[in-house]
Structure 1
Amino acid sequence: MIAIIDYGMGNLHSVSKAVERLGYEAFVTADAQEIMEADGAILPGVGAFGDAMQNLQNTGLDEVTRYYAASGKPLLGICLGMQLLFSESEEYGTHKGLNLLPGKVIRFQGDFKVPHMGWNKLGFHQKSPLFVGLDQGHVYFVHSYHAKPERASDLLATTDYNGQVTAIVGSGNVYGMQFHPEKSGDLGMSLLCNFLALTGAREAVR
């Protein structure tokens, strides 16, 4: 079973349906015990970093997510959910994140269109179980802020948008995708499928 963590700011339905389309059972939950018992967990997110962290703290799901990551079971952050994995963000002031990955989330700076919206090609930087059997291709982004990991080893893939932009991160059992895999065609769904395979969850009988 795959837990979709519900803290009130995620694209819960689309992520849950994508997991189910790939043949796995998914459930949307804010219950700590249910999350901790899941084979894998996904932290989605749409909106502002500070509001999201406030919601996580108000519900206690910030600590639940940290405990889940410490359990060694696979955790995936998507879009804002990926940004929340980092130490802090400068979006509308400075806000502390979950600090599962060291680094900062910053706004795009320069004379170009923000938000970054549309299809951009991924560039894989190192081997990862997320990339098994896959070629570099295009995925769909919508964001005005981007993560700057402190550790080069955490940077798994980037895209080019007026310079290198973090697209996929990972450290141990913790992963993040800045784009929306469920809206990114075959490549996005294949990346999500490779993450789900890491959970060891049995595919649902169809």
Structure 2
Amino acid sequence: MGTRVAVLDYGSGNIRSAERALARTGAEVEVTADRRTALEADGLLVPGVGAYAACMAGLRAVRGDEIIGRRLAGGRPVLGICVGMQILFERGIEHGVETQGCGEWPGTVEKLRAPVVPHMGWNTVSAPEGSRLFAGIGPEERFYFVHSYAVRRWELTDTPYAPPRVTWSEHGEPFVAAVENGPLWATQFHPEKSGDAGATLLANWVASL
């Protein structure tokens, strides 16, 4: 049996493109909202597109926040993508409305201060030395972003795992583009839409499982 990856279906995001991209790595992929399936898979991918508050409402409706917490408590890998990364932080603020996130990381998701928003298109990232997520990916490679909100400050200082590896990008100002923190990894960009570089990144995550 190959590596089993569950893509959490909570009504947010183009999950089929993520499913296809993961399948190309050789993983056995299942799109599911079933608690047991999501808990028992080797890896859980949490997608997300749209408004922070809507994503959190959909996630809570399928008890996705509990699933993420249970997996991480047992050291079982989770990968968040786009808003699926943002909801891992403590809170999001959109149009003056604050929404509580999953709270796996401290920090606030807020609007980018840039001349043009949303940040839509290809951009480079600055990955830290020793990154497993970006292994084999050159610094000139670009990834596909589409977002208006981001985490502008990394606030985690105390962690039971090795120091987190935080990858940054810039659009008007620096923002968190990816994180590797024990079993919890995440990207602000869409690896499933990022060509060969994105395919390599997803393959790196699956290999880590």
Matched to 1:105, the amino acid is V
* Pair 1:140-2:144 in alignment: yes
* Pair 1:114-2:117 in alignment: yes
- Please state how far the C-alpha of 1:58 moved relative to its aligned partner: 2.1
- Please state how far the C-alpha of 1:155 moved relative to its aligned partner: 5.0
Match of 2:182 in 1: 172
Identity of aligned residues (%): 40
Is the contact between residue 113 and residue 172 of structure 2 (CA under 8 Å) also seen in structure 1? no
Tell me which of 83, 97, 101 is aligned to 1:97.
101
- Please state how far the C-alpha of 1:129 moved relative to its aligned partner: 1.4
Match of 1:202 in 2: none
Match of 2:56 in 1: 53
Matched to 1:118, the amino acid is G
Tell me which of 19, 28, 46 is aligned to 2:31.
28
RMSD of aligned Cα (Å): 1.4
Is the contact between residue 126 and residue 156 of structure 1 (CA under 8 Å) also seen in structure 2? no
CA-to-partner distance for each residue in 1:156-198, whole Å, 9 max, x for gaps? 2111212212111121110110000011111111111101111
Structure 2: distance between partners of 1:15 and 1:30: 15
* Pair 1:149-2:159 in alignment: no
- Please state how far the C-alpha of 1:61 moved relative to its aligned partner: 1.7
Matched to 2:72, the amino acid is A
* Pair 1:11-2:14 in alignment: yes
- Please state how far the C-alpha of 1:70 moved relative to its aligned partner: 1.5
SS of the residue corresponding to residue 39 of structure 2 reads helix
Structure 1: distance between partners of 2:7 and 2:190: 14
Match of 1:203 in 2: none
**TM-score normalised by length of structure 1:** 0.91
Query: 129-138 or 49-58: which moved more?
Result: 129-138
- Please state how far the C-alpha of 1:151 moved relative to its aligned partner: 2.7
Matched to 1:44, the amino acid is P
Match of 1:131 in 2: 134
SS of the residue corresponding to residue 126 of structure 2 reads strand
CA-to-partner distance for each residue in 1:75-125, whole Å, 9 max, x for gaps? 100001000111111023101111111111010124x00000111111113
- Please state how far the C-alpha of 1:134 moved relative to its aligned partner: 2.3
- Please state how far the C-alpha of 1:10 moved relative to its aligned partner: 2.1
Structure 1: distance between partners of 2:133 and 2:61: 32
- Change in Cα spacing, 1:85 to 1:126, as seen in structure 2 (3 Å) is farther
* Count of paired positions: 198
Structure 2: distance between partners of 1:55 and 1:100: 18
Structure 2: distance between partners of 1:163 and 1:94: 22
